[in-house]
Amino acid sequence: MLYSAPMHTLKLSSLALVACALSLACQGEMLPPGPGVEPDPHQSPAPGSSRLLPPGLAGEYCNQAIPSPLHRLSSWEMQNTLAAAFPGLELPSARLVSDARPYGYDNDLLSLGIDDAFARSLNTLSIDIGKLAAEQVEQLIDCSARDAACVKRLIAQVAEPLLRREAADLALEEIEALAAGQPFETAVRLSIESLLKAPEFIFRAGTAAGEPQGYAAASRLSYFLWGTPPDKQLLADAKAGRLASASDLRRAAERLLADPRAERQLKHFFALWANLRPDGTNPTADGLAAIEETESFALHVFKSGGSLKDLLLSSDVVEAKPSVAALYQRDPQPMLRTGMLSRAAFLQRTSKVDGVSPVARGVWLLEHVLCRELGTPPEGADATPLPELGANATRREQIVAQTESSAECSGCHRVINPIGFAFDNFGPQGEYREVDQRSGRPIDASGKLPSGESFQDYRELLSIIASSSETSRCLTEQLMRFAFGGGPEVNDRCLVDEIHQGFVKSELKLRELVLEIVSHPRFFKGAN
Amino acid sequence: MKFDRRRFLATLGAAAGGAAASRLVGDGWLPEFVAPRVARAAGASPFRGFVLCYGMQHLCAHQMRFVPKGEDREKFNLDRYNFRETGKLPETGGGYVVDLKDSGLDWPEPIRAIVDAPFNVPAEYITIIDGLANSAMHIERDKFGTSATSHAWSQASVLTGGPALNSLGTPSYPDVAWRIHEHLARQQGNSYQLLGFDTGYNRGTHQAENFFGQPSAAFDPNDGSQTLSNRLELGLQRPSRIWDDVFRDRSYPDGSAPKVDPLKQARPQTVRAVIERYKRLLGRVKIQYDQDRLAQQIARLEQLYQDTQLPAPISQQCSKPTQPPAPTEGTYVQELMAVGKMIAMAFACDISRVAGVHFRMPNAGVLENLKDYVFRFADGTSETVRGDVHNIHAHASSASRREDHTDAEWNEAHRVMRLYNRSHCEYVAAIASELHRTSDPLSGKSLLDNTLIVLTAELSDGAHEVNDRMMVLVGKMPGLNTGKYYRFPAVNPMRVDNIIRNYLHYAPYQDIAQFYITLMQAYGMTIDRIGPTEYKGDGKLANRSGTLKELIA
């Protein structure tokens, strides 16, 4: 497993989870040096690479505008961009290859390249969309005649969202030259094909000298909050210099957050953060209903001005499909579903074919909510059958016997297990239960964290976690990773600090976290 | 905090100028358009024709078998025969191989039609691979019913590309052909067409399907698109129909085509336009790494654009037909030769250097009768068929065993199968003859020297068998020892009625999968195993690896 040190590794929170005292076997590899520690010379930039770095990049650079490498649109962003450019056309779906999610998010700029498969799929898509646009051109533009003027107008119209500039700022001579002298249909097709292979469509890049500098910030903002290219208003703001300050960005972001497009994107973020829709999986109808319910809940918390604590503790009810509603109606008492993590999607996602997996639940929470990395378990750990301890032993006792009896495993599992056992009152489908199926004895969901704090069940555990600054800092990092298309990096400690402080000051309001990020100079200066 | 930008940039810096550049470029743009031009400009011929022919369910291997002169083909028992010491297959340790130019063997009637007048294809172009088993092409029971009969039927379909394929995802002969087609098209810059998709099998149900669940398709070397849709069914069609199928609406980069598609003509110009966009982008990136890789991207696109400007790979010597053959009927031989001539012309003109052809007889479906159908033959004779004998001959269920039929029924079934075989072989002979007669403008040899026609079927000694199958190859290709008769010792105890119990359990017979692998490797593909790798019926993997080493030159 790839990992470098979370920069706050040594900064123990109230949970003191790093007291895990990871054994080497459980750790996977040694942690790299923390902040302030001289880096391992073997990990230093290779000789000659300094030319890649702008001056002054050594050390921390919170407020500097850091140029990023070219950032390819993710497939999600690309599909959304095409939909914005060709409204009214039923575009071919699922044609682009799906993107890797090395850090959980599908917009990671480091992994978004163009390999052969992607190039092929884009090539095919460009031909198909060009053909579709030519066949249904009246769906796109109102032309009195199918002539060169119509083609020119069409090019300008679709280029604006595709290339994320106002048409007047787009030099499209090459594209227009392609169309010149061609029959109408051929002209449309060639133009569209070229636009869809244009690098300004495929990549997000900074602005050129003499160009309105706000265009880059507009793209970063709209892809962050909508997953789409900027709309006309945002482009106009960019051109007029109204995306140049923190207050400008905050104002623009508030407008975008009020738009329905933000709802879809926020759900997209929450699904990625919680890994609710792993790539390559095809959930059942009931599974999909559970995922949608959790996404809706998270969105509800966000839209209602909720906080991180609400995300983890609120028992608000949102609309759910019958299968999920029926599941919750069988709860023995109301208000049992507190926050995202006692809802069906998380509980199902962390269950296996043969039942719940407290270990999976513990690991998930440590990784996604606390940004902990646990290393790779020893080979074959998953395949080892649980020890038989007699018919009276609970499954929890079996797991403890297996995972905490050896030094090799106990370092991690003494942290993982109590957190996972806290959710033992929920079965593999998320159904509430009070009896251990194996032994018939009451479920024991209590536990104690390495920091010494005790809890009786998942609700008390979530209360502890929700109050931890480690949790709010983790969400800060997660949302920053999504906003920036990667990171934060080791050198970004002060950047995270600043945004996290604003988040805390807002009493952990989710909306404020978004606004803190977009109004930070690092977000809108030198953006791509 | 999962990564460090400095380390990342350092890593990219180390890779800059190499692999990193490909992250921007990809290789998926216009390769099929460009590769033939580049190869042509370099004076090389990347083209290898490949024709797939198969006569589903109608080719009886035992009727096609070479036996020592004087032996009764119907009763010949290989187990007791040891042809000659020197002919033993060295790798296999059994069976034998014979050079067909001087074999001392008795040519079976259908194959003899290829080398005899009027087609006169030299024996060195004929290759017989006999005695192959089929163990990798297994069927998962729950996907295709549970009865032995359905398993037998689906085995047959999988081998020959019947309607079962789509639901199985298991390689079959057409699947292999598809892979070869695509490989040649994409990797070697060839064009390809898949022609003649009608399976002719249970046509009432499956007529609309082809093997791949998609319309007949072709690559167009003009732009690499897959927009063409032609079918060529070499049934008893008129030559004019075949002209339509092969040549109609095709476009030629040299401008002499009956119809030129302006989009395809102009598409390479999109490369030019995109290059200019990349140059604009260059002014917007601020990191040296990006500047470097964009510069490399532009250089590659410039090269791509220059390649698009190379002359089209159409041979100047190519004599394309300008009009369809006269619709008047000539002799049967003339009709056959017209078919072969058109395929040869298509190959010579680089329209379809790779093609799949399926022989199809009208009314040849399993459930339909060939009532009063008249087979015509090159020697001017004809024979009438009273009805379809498929079930008598091909199904070894209780109603179809030899002992359940009279001698008259059995003999009639064999007679009809012989007619099928002879008819199919005469088609192959006509195509091969014309390919041999036509000079390949790209290689200087005959087209048949760069073409491999594969004729196969799934009837062995009568039933839908999984053992003792035969492949008939006509033509040559680099990498294969052709011009020989290979008899592998496939003494396979498996019968249709115990397929379920046994079909995973017999090895090490020479397997059809190994023939496929050999073929695909000879065409330059990287593959060493065919068959499902996950299903382990009774704990044994059902896939097969390895090659037929004696076939490899």
Do A196 and A121 touch, CB atoms closer than 8 A?
Answer: no
Contact between residue B115 and residue B107 where contact means Cβ atoms under 8 Å apart: yes
What SS3 class is residue B455?
strand
Residue B236 pLDDT greater than 80, yes or no: no
CB atoms within 10 A of CB A133: 24
Residues B433-451: what's their mean pLDDT? 81
Do B324 and B306 lie in one domain? The reply is no
- Taking the C-alpha atoms of residue A306 and residue A506, their distance in angstroms, rounded to an integer, is 11
pLDDT of residue B214: 32
Q: Please tell me if residue B263 touches chain A, with a CB cutoff of 8 Å.
A: yes
DSSP-assigned states of every residue in B19-41: HHHHHHH-S-SSHHHHHHHHHHH
Reported residue count of chain A is: 528
Say if residue B355's pLDDT is above 70: no
**Chain CA centroid to CA B60, Å:** 19
B242 has a pLDDT exceeding 60:
no
CB B227 within 8 A of CB B266: no
Q: Check the CA dihedral A245-A249-A250-A251 and report its sign.
A: positive
- pLDDT-based confidence at B391, cuts 50/70/90? low
Most confident segment among A370-374, B197-201, B510-514: A370-374
Give percent above pLDDT 70 in chain B: 39
Cα separation values, B295 from A69, B16, B288, Å: 14, 11, 10
Given an 8 Å threshold on Cβ–Cβ distance, is B28 in contact with A113?
A: no
Separation between Cα atoms, residue B516 and residue B510, nearest integer Å: 11
Which residues are CB-contacts of B429 (< 8 A; sequence separation ≥ 6)?
A: B113, B114, B119, B121, B336, B378, B474
* Tokens coding B383: 């024979």
Query: Distance (Å, rounded) from C-alpha A465 to C-alpha A471?
Result: 6
Confidence of residue B203 (pLDDT cuts 50, 70, 90): very low
Q: Are B83 and B484 in contact (CB under 8 A)?
A: no
Question: Which residue of A10, A37, A52 to mutate against B (max B Cβ within 10 Å)?
Answer: A52
CA distance A350 to chain B (A): 23
Q: Verify that B327 and B300 share a domain, yes or no.
A: no
Distance CA A56, CA A68 (A): 15
Give the angle B187-B192-B196 at the CA atoms, nearest 5°: 145
Average pLDDT, stretch B232-245? 43
Establish how many alpha carbons lie within 13 A of residue B463's alpha carbon, considering only the half-sphere containing its beta carbon.
23
Peptide bond into A229 cis (omega under 30): no
What lies within 8 Å, CB to CB, of B160 at 6+ separation is B54, B56, B57, B172, B173, B174, B456, B457, B458
Task: Report CB contact under 8 Å: B27, A116.
Answer: yes
Ranking A520-524, B257-261, B307-311 by mean pLDDT, the lowest is: B257-261
Best mutation target, B227, B270, B304, to test chain A (most A CBs within 10 A)? B270
For B519-526, what is the mean pLDDT?
Answer: 79
The single residue listed with the structure tokens 């009070």 is: A434
Asked if A245 and A279 count as a contact pair (C-beta separation under 8 A), the reply is: no
Question: In sequence order, what E strands does B13-155 have?
Answer: 49-54, 67-68, 96-99, 105-106, 126-132
Distance from the Cα of A458 to chain B's closest Cα (Å) equals: 28
Contacts of A206 in chain B (CB under 8 A): 284-286
Same domain, B124 and B59: yes
CA distance B44 to A25: 57
Q: Does A7 touch chain B (CB under 8 A)?
A: yes
Total of domains in chain A: 1
The helix (run of H) or strand (run of E) holding residue B472 is strand B469-475
Q: Cα separation of A230 and A166, whole Å?
A: 10
Q: Three-state DSSP class for A141?
A: coil
Q: Which of B285, B311, B337 is the last residue of a domain?
A: B311
Residues B334 and B479 in one domain: yes
Which region, left, alpha or beta, applies to residue B537 given φ > 0 means left and ψ of -120 to 50 means alpha? beta
Three-class DSSP labels, A151-207: HHHHHHHHHHHHHCCCHHHCCCHHHHHHHCCCCHHHHHHHHHHHHHHCHHHHEECCC
Type of residue numbered B170: T
Question: The domain containing residue A113 runs over which residues?
Answer: 72-202
Q: B19: nearest CA in chain A?
A: A115
Candidates A134, A135, A136, A116; CA nearest to A124 is A116
Q: Quick one: how far is CA A435 from the chain centroid?
A: 36
**Checking phi first, is residue A526 left (phi over 0); if not, alpha (psi -120 to 50) or beta?**
left
Q: How far apart are CA A198 and CA A175, in angstroms?
A: 10
Q: What's the domain count of chain B?
A: 2
Which of the listed ranges A96-110, A218-232, B9-23, B434-448 does the model predict with the highest average pLDDT?
A: A218-232
Q: With 70 as the cut, is the pLDDT of residue B241 above it?
A: no
pLDDT for B70 beyond 90: no
DSSP at A347: H
What is the C-alpha separation between A254 and A257, in angstroms, rounded? 5
Residue A83 falls inside a structural domain: yes
Under the banding of pLDDT at 50, 70 and 90, the label for residue B390 is low
Backbone torsions φ then ψ of B132, nearest 5 degrees: -90, 140
The amino acid present at A183, given as its one-letter code, is: P
Tokens of A132: 């579709």
Q: Where is average pLDDT lowest: A100-104, B191-195, B377-381?
A: B191-195
Whether residue B228 has pLDDT greater than 50: no
Residues 17 through 76 of chain B touching chain A, CB cutoff 8 Å:
22-30
Q: Both B271 and B323 in a single domain?
A: no
DSSP string for B221-269: TTTS---B----B-SS--HHHHHHHHHTT---TTS-SS---HHHHHTHH
Residue bearing the bigger pLDDT, B363 or B126? B126
Q: What is the pLDDT of residues B107-156, one digit of tens each?
A: 888 888 899 999 999 999 999 888 777 654 443 333 333 333 333 333 33
The predicted complex's ipTM stands at 0.82
DSSP state for residue A283 in the 8-state scheme: -
Q: Do residues B33 and B101 share a domain? A: no
CA gap A84, A89 in Å, rounded: 10
| Across B245-257, average pLDDT | 42
CA-to-CA distance for A49 and A63, rounded, in angstroms?
23
Residues B92 and B196 in one domain: yes
Higher pLDDT, B256 or A131: A131
Q: Which residue has the higher pLDDT, B547 or B177?
A: B547
Residues B89 and B168 in one domain: yes
Closest to A190 (Cβ–Cβ): which among B7, B263, B285?
B263
Query: What is the C-alpha to C-alpha distance for residues B305 and B296, in angstroms, rounded to an integer?
Result: 14
Scanning every residue of chain B, which has its alpha carbon at the shortest distance from the alpha carbon of A187?
Answer: B263
Q: Cβ separation of A186 and B280 shorter than 8 Å?
A: no
For residue B226, what is the nearest residue in chain A, using CA coordinates? Answer: A124
- Report which residue type is found at B10: A
Q: Is residue A192 in a domain?
A: yes
In this structure, the answer to whether residues B39 and B86 fall within a common structural domain is no
> Is residue B283 within 8 angstroms of chain A, CB to CB?
yes
Yes or no, beta carbons of A205 and B280 under 8 Å apart: no
Question: Residue B295's domain spans which residues?
Answer: 1-44+261-311
Distance CA B168, CA B136 (A): 13
Partner-chain contact A186 B7, CB within 8 Å: no
Could you tell me whether strands A447-448 and A454-455 are parallel, antiparallel, or unpaired per DSSP bridges?
antiparallel
Q: Are residues B371 and B441 in the same domain?
A: yes
Q: For position B79, what pLDDT does the model report?
A: 47
Residues 6+ apart with CB under 8 A from B417: B58, B60, B63, B389, B393, B459
| Total beta-carbon pairs less than 8 A apart between chain A and chain B | 167
Tell if the CB–CB gap between A54 and B225 is shorter than 8 Å: no
Residue B283 sits in the same domain as residue B391? no
Cβ neighbours of A19 (radius 10 Å): 14
**Domain closes at, from B311, B336, B352:** B311
Contact B25 A119 (CB under 8 A): yes
Whether residues B161 and B211 share a domain: the answer is yes
The tokens describing B307, both together, are 């390649």
Poorest-pLDDT segment among B5-9, B248-252, B333-337? B248-252
Tens of pLDDT, residue by residue over A114-157, are 776 777 788 888 888 999 999 999 999 999 899 999 999 999 99
Q: Which DSSP string corresponds to B479-538?
A: TB--SEEEE--------GGGHHHHTTT--SS-BHHHHHHHHHHHTT----EES-SS--GG
Half-sphere exposure of B40 (CA within 13 A, CB side): 22
Answer whether B287 touches A (CB < 8 Å).
Answer: yes
**Closest CB from B23, B27, B287 relative to A52:** B287
| Domain-embedded: residue A221 | no
Please identify which residue in the block is written with the tokens 């639901």: B167
Contact status, residue B73 vs residue B106, Cβ threshold 8 Å: yes
Q: Is residue A176 part of a domain?
A: yes
Q: What are the average pLDDT values for consecutive 10-residue runs of chain A, which has 528 residues?
A: 27 33 31 29 30 39 64 92 94 76 83 75 87 94 93 96 94 92 94 93 87 92 98 97 95 98 97 85 86 97 97 95 95 93 93 83 92 76 78 92 85 91 95 92 92 93 95 95 84 86 97 96 76
Mean pLDDT of the residues in chain B: 62
Task: Give the bridge partners for B77, in sequence order.
Answer: none
The Cα-based distances of A289 to A195, A267, A329, A351 in angstroms read 38, 14, 15, 16
pLDDT in tens, B35-47: 666 766 766 554 4
Q: Which of A12, A19, A27 is nearest to A409 (CA)?
A: A27
Query: CA B79 from chain center: how many Å?
Result: 31
Count of Cβ atoms closer than 10 Å to residue A440 Cβ: 10
The token duo for A64 is 């500097």
- Residue A68's CB: how many other CB atoms inside 10 A? 23
